[in-house]
Structure 1
Amino acid sequence: MKIFEELKLSLYAPKKDLCDVCEAYNTKNLSEEKYNMHQTFKQEARQEKERDKSSSDITVNVYAMDLQSVLLSPKSTVSAMYYKTKLIVHNFTIYNLKNKEGFCFLWNESEGGLTANEFSSIISFFIEQEIKKCDGALREMIFFSDGCTGQNRNSTLANAFVNLAAQHNIILTQKYLFKGHTQMEVDSMHATIERQIRDRKINLPADYAYHCQKARSNPSPYNVKYISHSFFKKFDNLKFYNSIRPGRAAGDPVVTDIKALRYFPNCEIQFKMRHTDPWAALNQRLNKKITPCKYDDLLPLFTERRKIKKEKYDHLQILKLGLLEDYQKFYDELPFE
């Protein structure tokens, strides 16, 4: 068993969502030609990630990022928990594919939502911290993710990347895995955290921050930041580009067709429609009146905590009775509609 653990082997089979295209082919509802093209795109994306991951260039860092499935607070085995709505907690995770560092950014629904502004704030903060840590040694940072438009593939986040590339004289690259086959190393963080919190009692959203830190010890614990509403910035006012769509006319490629985006210090954006294609300049006009600005100089996204629904607040007042008195104050002070 000791050798088995040293080799990092496991009998656990992680859950895996099925691809709708592959399932359509398995049920004879998709042609062989379309299925083969689907498999080609899948392999191209995976090979691209493996190529970047195995690169020995120390001036290029490669990351995978994703949002963990919804966490809830409070959480226990009390029967009333199953029938009441609870406070939603979000965990956005970033994993360094080269040195295996993991980063968790946690917030609850009263502190922020799931718009492009929240994700742009977290990613911008993370990039600035990594640049500081590397003391100017980084030439490029590559981020792999799924193609979720509200989270990873939109003009708000693209403009945030443009802003950072211009400020820090660095190349920033986004690469998207193929729909239905977006398994990444960052998913291992989610599995590790889920094992840690299984059968654990959660009294407050901040308890998840503690368990994320305790979830892994080797090679190092995860870096965890618990976020309040004052952390988030308003990035949708930063409009270097109004759109990142590759085409303009009807029938031209759209944003969801993009497989990769690259941002340069001169504010230029390049894109790829396939990972095997050469880079091409984005056919959108740069607004030269917009100048790069520091993260701290951006307007705050929220001036106060977000209000939850009255029904959820009432349910939480019932659920808090199963908690120690010190924990109950947090739920009493939640803003509601």
Structure 2
Amino acid sequence: MGNCFSCFKVPPVPPPAAESSTDPASCKPLQEASDQEDGDVDGGMLHRQVSEKQQRSSEMVQSNGNKGLSGLLGEGVASRTFCRIPLGGRSGSDKRSDTASANNNSLLPVRSVSDSKINALFEQYKDGAEDAILADGIERLCNDLCVRPDEFCVLVLAWRFEAEQMCCFTRQEFVTGCKTIKVESIKGMQSRLPDLCREVQQDGELFKKLYRFTFKFGLDPDQRILPADMAICLWRLVFSQNEPHIMHRWLQFLEQHPHVRGIPRDTWNMFLNFVETVGDDLSSYDDAEAWPSLFDDFVEFENDQVNQNVTKARESGICD
């Protein structure tokens, strides 16, 4: 990825000179047959022309030591030019075969990354006591990548590495992840991150996978429900590149209702469907559908806010 396959295309073979496509001596039967077929037109003139051509061809062969094409072109040039093109002409199927071969050669395999280089990179950030990159190492890694640990691209990187928990890359996660995105250095990782982010932003299915990963990523090993404060932070992070219109009001609702202490997995997952369904003003919300009760509470809260604003506006107009 990121490589331009056109850089690997094989340069086209220059066509051979027209006069060197056949041996001069081999032209005799064709010329004599042609002379016989057209003898009625001007047999004497054609006979003289053929005789002169035969004499010149014989002299050329003799002057080059009877080497044929090798003598006329040089042995190296002849072998390089004609080893790819069959003598005696090219049929349409031959041309199609050559085209298919050229297309296959233009897509050469991308160079694989080095396990030893990836492991050496891992060692630069590995914790002294554990065979993993922990919080300090991840902070140094982010500094070298010129990004902050709370940026969207770091979340994407953790997703592509299939990290089990925050602030930790095991050796297996790091090595396998680098192989997956085909990087073996900080420079390579730095140049690859924008592509990874762009891919997930442009592909809805990839974003859905990232979104569902984010819930699991935020859990501690013994947790099944995401704490509300952590969920708020992760919602801000995962939607930082494409924020839904209701996002600010949703997070404000959670912050103003401290009784909401945790977000279950189904609520987290269905929120993505929720923001795609309800519209900017929640007018498409149907409470008869099987939405989590927290969404019902949010819509009711929003409607109350709208009614209060309308009432205040009317009272303000009356007082004026």
Which of the two has higher C-alpha Rg? 2
Q: Same fold (TM over 0.5)?
A: no
Q: TM-score range by the shorter chain?
A: under 0.3
User: Of the two structures, which has the highest relative contact order with CA contacts closer than 8 Å and spacing of 6 or more?
Assistant: 1
Q: TM-score, normalised by structure 1?
A: 0.21
Q: TM-score, normalised by structure 2?
A: 0.22
| Higher share in helix | 2
